[in-house]
Structure 1
Amino acid sequence: MIAEINGCKIYYEVHGNENGHPIFFIHGGPGLGDCRADVATFAPLGEHFRLVFIDMRGSGRSEEKPPYTHEQWTDDIDQLRQLLGFDKITIHGSSYGGFISLEYALKYQCHLEHAFLNVTSANNDHHYAAIENAMNSNLPGIDRDMLDRLFNGRVSSNEEFKEMYTAILPLYAAVEFDPVAAQKKLDSIHYHYATHNAAFSENLPAYDVRSRLGEIQVPVMVTGGRLDWIVPADNAEEIAAGISKSKLVIFEKNGHSLVREESAKYIALVREFINEHTGRKEELHNV
């Protein structure tokens, strides 16, 4: 479906139980990601919950219409919440989607029931570790100049954006890299390099909500992958330590793609966390 949200045509899908509590899923990778993978992964939750999936402004099948800012993306989510008639929602954000979910929790907490923050961070310091981890991988096609341009939002075209993502894609697989599936994914992506550039050059340098984590009073489950090359698990630990009603789950054998690699376990955790409605802090390891 397409809705005009704050002057921009936004693509979204609604699935699942019409009477269920709504969960909004926020994808990562501005200009690269979209909601398709989440639609496939989280379908089992539809038995009991109302599932709302969004292609964020400037990504996927949504319109390319600036501004591409954390504030605008956050406001777009809340405008869609209002359009769909929900008072309170649960939000789920992975990677960059976790940045936006944190911003949503801080601005619109009165409309939030729970939050799920997966393989994400409360600031941009992981940026530097990611570049070093990529360099140390010795994968073909990766060099420091390419990484610097990618991580600092200086991509010159959609074609170059695809070349860069092709080079780093093997880093996302902690279990086993499937080149055939990877190529299929690369060819299916809607590339929006200008959105990526705005996110990485204009938004991330100033992104740091660590000092405000204590303002979040809703129950939050924070997950990380011990083998994550781009947002290391210590970022999840830091977020959980700063939120009073948090539950930290570290997947010891997975990296940035833990939701896809361990979908059954992850979905069980989400379902359990929502059903518990707990504010108890609890840390789990070796999942």
Structure 2
Amino acid sequence: MSGTDTTAEFARADGDADMIMINGNRLAVEVLGPEGAPVIITHHGAPGLGSRAEPKASFGRLADAYRVVVFDARGSGQSEGNGTFSHEQWAADLDALREWIGADRICMAGGSYGGFMAMEYAIRYPDRVAALVLRDTAPDNAHAELARRNALASDRVKVDIAKFDRIDAGQVADDDDLRDCWREILPLYDFHYDPASVERKVAATPYRYQAHNYAFSTNLPNYDLKPQLPGITAPTLITVGRTDWITPVSCSETIGGLIPDSRLAIFERSGHSPQIEEADAWTRTVRDFLAEVYPGISTSTTR
């Protein structure tokens, strides 16, 4: 894979996560759940804004029965950001994590931009994927125009279009600018708008503008997985919130129409985050799906 670092050297360091040397970067990684259980590797969304915190909270609920790997992708959260932030490289990092955890095959999971990467991984490493779990994601960059229209039509806030365009085009100036642009669009995400919750999220987000800019200015303009999706053979669960503004239901329906062995679950009282807004129902849906993929796995909870 030209231009992609695929060297795998594994090391550990102290901190609130293990720092694992993956392809020339120390990535912040946490492993939840029992040894020997089926492995789920999750990819967070929003490069340069996302982190392992969200998938740890949502997929961590499954750690009674599954080995859940959550991490900060290169350039995000606490991980280093050396080299490129291409989809090819991020997928290679995922496969190095699979090798590090010692799993021949995994359940690959991701939401939003993490869903882009989950599908990229399933396409690039098909023999390594036993199942695919997607949330609020899209198969191509056509969702960008849908999101822009939804943002401009919102009755919650009047969006500063200059800030919207900077974050959408990957042209933010620095971490402070990324924070200001992120605050601008956050009111659009949830089913119920809570200004105080928006400010808590703004304060809790780790800002890494270089990864964000690369993802949105370089990766996304030509992003289109639709021709490859019919080749995914792993059973696939697609989940989405009914009022998702940025990757609307129609995007998930397109994915479901292209991946042969897939099913779609729509959560009626959720925006972009049914794993938070309808946590119990979303978790049950994922558990039921995984129980078919991994029959005989016992759980200690009904959630």
User: Which band: TM-score by shorter chain?
Assistant: over 0.9
8 Å CA contact 2:139–2:224 kept in 1: the answer is yes
Secondary structure in structure 1 of the residue aligned to 2:90: helix
- 1:51-130 matches, within 5 Å, as 51-130=68-147
**Whole-angstrom CA distance in 1 between matches of 2:81 and 2:206:** 11
Name the SS of the counterpart of 1:47 in structure 2: coil
- Provide, for residues 52-98 of structure 1, a one-character-per-residue CA deviation record: whole Å limited to 9, x for no partner: 00100100010122301100000001001101111110011100000
Q: Which runs of 5+ in 2 are unaligned?
A: 1-17, 295-303
Counterpart pick for 2:26 among 1, 5, 9: 9
Matches within 5 A, 1:138-157: 140=157, 142-157=159-174
Flag structure 1 segments of 5+ consecutive residues without an equivalent: 279-287
Deviations 1:171-228 (A, max 9, x none): 1111x23333332221121101111000000000111010111100010001122211
Aligned residue number for residue 276 of structure 1:
292
Contact kept, 8 Å, 1:153 with 1:199, in 2: the verdict is yes
Matched, 1:30 2:47: yes
Describe the shift of the 1:42–1:196 C-alpha distance in structure 2 as closer, same or farther (beyond 3 A): same
**What is the one-letter code of the residue matched to 2:146?**
A
Residues 202-241 of structure 1 correspond to what in structure 2 (within 5 A)?
A: 202-241=218-257
Could you tell me how far apart the structure 1 residues matched to 2:121 and 2:59 are? Answer: 21
Q: Return the alpha-carbon distance in structure 1 between the equivalents of residues 158 and 211 of structure 2.
A: 23
Which amino acid in the other structure matches residue 262 of structure 2? S
SS of match in other structure, 1:247 = strand
- 1:242 match: 258
Calculate the aligned-residue CA RMSD, in Å.
1.4
C-alpha displacement of 1:229: 0.6
- Residues 139 and 167 in structure 1, CA contact (< 8 A), matched pair in contact too: no
Residue 257 (structure 1) aligns with: 273
Note closer, same or farther for the CA distance 1:4–1:116 as it changes in structure 2 (3 Å cut).
Answer: same
Q: 2:56 aligns with which of 31, 39, 44?
A: 39
Show the counterpart of 1:285.
Answer: none
Equivalent residue letter for 2:259: I
- How many corresponding residue pairs? 277
Cα distance in 2 between the residues matched to 1:217 and 1:39: 27
State the AA in 2 paired with 1:100: M
User: How far is the alpha carbon of 1:157 from its aligned partner?
Assistant: 1.0
Aligned to 2:216: 200
Q: Aligned with 1:17: secondary structure?
A: coil
State the AA in 2 paired with 1:2: M
3-state SS of the aligned residue for 1:210?
A: coil
Whole-angstrom CA distance in 1 between matches of 2:197 and 2:150: 23
Percent identity reads 39
- Alignment-mate amino acid for residue 234 of structure 1: S
Question: Whole-Å Cα distance in 1 between the matches of residues 99 and 62 of structure 2?
Answer: 22
Query: Whole-Å Cα distance in 1 between the matches of residues 197 and 83 of structure 2?
Result: 32
Asked if 2 retains the 8 angstrom alpha-carbon contact of 1:58 and 1:66, the reply is: no
Structure 1 stretch displaced more, 43-52 or 180-189: 180-189
Counterpart in 1 of 2:202? 186
Aligned to 1:281: none
Q: Distance in 1 between matches of 2:196 and 2:161?
A: 27
**Structure-2 separation of matches of 1:272 and 1:224:** 16
